[in-house]
Chain A
């Protein structure tokens, strides 16, 4: 932690909530009460088991924070399903910028860059990697992610530039950054930031997976790799702009259109060659605008 960092009001509230939630040291320090008189013999108690939850409860209470597969997981799933293609080799050099005015778009762009970094980490040119990291840092800054993540990315960039870390070790660093640190930040730009960053990453991953399936001709793997209607529906909730009082954005409108198409496609019982093509073309149409 940065010494002397001021406690903000939001931070104080977070901690106040945390304190209600944190089982503090007082619990651990509870003295053991000695029995003064022997207890009467009891029947041996079976340990309690978790209560069974019905589907309605599961649906009502479930949170989506762990729903979306990571880009690296998509690559791994591709291999497990018999497609040897490297998604990294399919990543296009788009030179995506994150200094745009619409915050939703900044989040989506940042997510796409995170996916590109994760997928190309092992073999990317140093300059490309550094440029992408800097764009991610700029995007997170624009979303109000705070200074700590900037410091961390700066340190990672410095290590890459000085070749002070192996690419294998970087994988673990970036997994942590993308899978734990970025989703846990409370962004000044609001709670939509995390889902929209995830949407950007997933969109890029889905585009590359669809491309790999088409290139390999192994359409029988499409169900296992692309049929994720719940993921699409989750993103759509945060992208839908109906009734919101804000300036319409061309990229976000296209993203909504794309996700609506993907939802229709991924809800089918089985994905066909045409469906994979639809997914590739629809995701391409958004990514090309970034």
Chain B
């Protein structure tokens, strides 16, 4: 991505980081609940990492005519899934991008039609799966995001879930 574009994108990217995390502990006021700074920054780093990952993919695709509908995030433990209902237009090309954080070893995407029939399955062994899909009619579809495998957690670690960012893009 060129430098000018990075500058333009800096504002919303920073905004989203603030929206998602939106916290510091420097000046907690009355009624505020302090949390250890290390835990907050650790969490923030993970969320920022998946945000940056999915954003980079989105913005790099804009010159090829892709645009973004939405970006969502899910927190999943191993073998858990999250299901999204989505409207897709006939004649559009859709690309569904996901980025799992570093605690994710394998994230898979499965697309079902409105009757629950499997349409596309992306089950490669990585944490950044992509589905390309062009519907033959306008309809609703179900997207299942599966956290198939996570990196072995250190014994006693409280890290039970990882974050997956999912973006729906179209052209």
Seen from chain A, the residues whose Cβ lies within 8 Å of a Cβ on chain B are 1-9, 11-16, 18-31, 47-55, 57-58, 61-70, 72-73, 76-77, 80-81, 146, 148-149, 151-152, 155-156, 165, 169, 171-173, 175-177, 179-181, 183-185, 223-225, 227-228, 230-231
Name the one of A26, A49, A52, A183 contacting B159, with C-beta atoms under 8 angstroms.
A26
Seen from chain B, the residues whose Cβ lies within 8 Å of a Cβ on chain A are 4-5, 8-9, 11-29, 31-35, 39-40, 42-43, 45-47, 55, 59, 62, 67-73, 75, 81-87, 89-92, 101-104, 106, 108, 110, 112, 115-116, 118, 121, 123, 125, 137-138, 140, 142-144, 146, 148-154, 157-163, 166, 168, 170-171
B39 touches A24 (CB 8 A): yes
A11 touches B23 (CB 8 A): yes
* 16 A–B pairs (Cβ distance < 8 Å), ordered by A: A9-B32, A15-B21, A18-B21, A20-B160, A21-B160, A22-B42, A50-B144, A53-B116, A61-B82, A63-B85, A70-B70, A77-B91, A80-B89, A152-B12, A176-B68, A183-B70
A51 and B32 alpha carbons, distance in the complex (Å) = 42
Q: Is the interface of A mostly helix, strand, loop or mixed?
A: helix
B32 touches A63 (CB 8 A): no
Which residues of chain B have C-beta atoms less than 8 A from A11's C-beta? 22-23
B92 touches A73 (CB 8 A): yes
Residue of A3, A30, A57 contacting most chain B CB atoms (<10 Å): A30
A266 and B116 alpha carbons, distance in the complex (Å) = 21
Which residues of chain B have C-beta atoms less than 8 A from A176's C-beta? 9, 12-13, 15-16, 55, 68
Q: Is the interface of B mostly helix, strand, loop or mixed?
A: mixed
A7 touches B9 (CB 8 A): no
A165 and B24 alpha carbons, distance in the complex (Å) = 31
B22 touches A22 (CB 8 A): no
Which residues of chain B have C-beta atoms less than 8 A from A6's C-beta? 24, 26-29, 32
**Of all chain A residues, which has the CB nearest B151?**
A27
A175 touches B28 (CB 8 A): no
Which residues of chain A have C-beta atoms less than 8 A from B102's C-beta? 23, 27-28
